[in-house]
Structure 1
Amino acid sequence: MTVQDQQQDSSTGIVLSDTAASKVAALLEQEGRDDLALRVAVQPGGCSGLRYQLFFDERTLDGDVVKEFGTVKVVTDRMSAPYLSGASIDFVDTIEKQGFTIDNPNATGSCACGDSFH
Structure 2
Amino acid sequence: MVTVTEKAAGEIKRVIGEQNMPEGTVLRIGVAGGGCSGFQYKLGFDAAADREKDHISEQHGLQVAIDKKSDLYLDGTTVDFYDGLEKRGFTFENPNVTRSCGCGSSFSV
Give the alignment's TM-score, normalised by structure 2. Answer: 0.91
Which residue of 1 is the match for residue 15 of structure 2?
27
Q: Distance in 2 between matches of 1:39 and 1:102?
A: 14
Which residue of 1 is the match for residue 55 of structure 2?
65
Superposed CA offset, 1:4-46 (max 9, x none): xxxxxxxxx1001110011111111112222211101111000
Q: Distance in 2 between matches of 1:43 and 1:59?
A: 20
Q: Distance in 1 between matches of 2:69 and 2:88?
A: 28
Q: Distance in 1 between matches of 2:99 and 2:54?
A: 26
Which residue of 2 is the match for residue 85 of structure 1?
75
Q: Which runs of 5+ in 2 are unaligned?
A: none
Give the alignment's TM-score, normalised by structure 1. Answer: 0.85
Measured on the aligned residues, the alpha-carbon RMSD in Å equals: 1.1
Among the aligned pairs, what percent are the same residue? Answer: 38
Q: Secondary structure at the match of 2:86?
A: coil
Matched, 1:48 2:37: yes
Number of aligned pairs?
A: 106
Select 1:97's aligned residue among 64, 87, 96.
Answer: 87
- Bigger Cα displacement from structure 2, 54-63 vs 16-25: 54-63
Q: Distance in 1 between matches of 2:62 and 2:48?
A: 15
Which residue of 2 is the match for residue 112 of structure 1?
102
Q: Which amino acid aligns with 2:15?
A: L
Contact 2:13 2:62 survives alignment (8 Å): yes
Greater strand content: 2
- Following TM superposition, by how much is the alpha carbon of 1:80 offset from its aligned partner in structure 2, in angstroms? 0.2
Q: Secondary structure at the match of 2:18?
A: helix
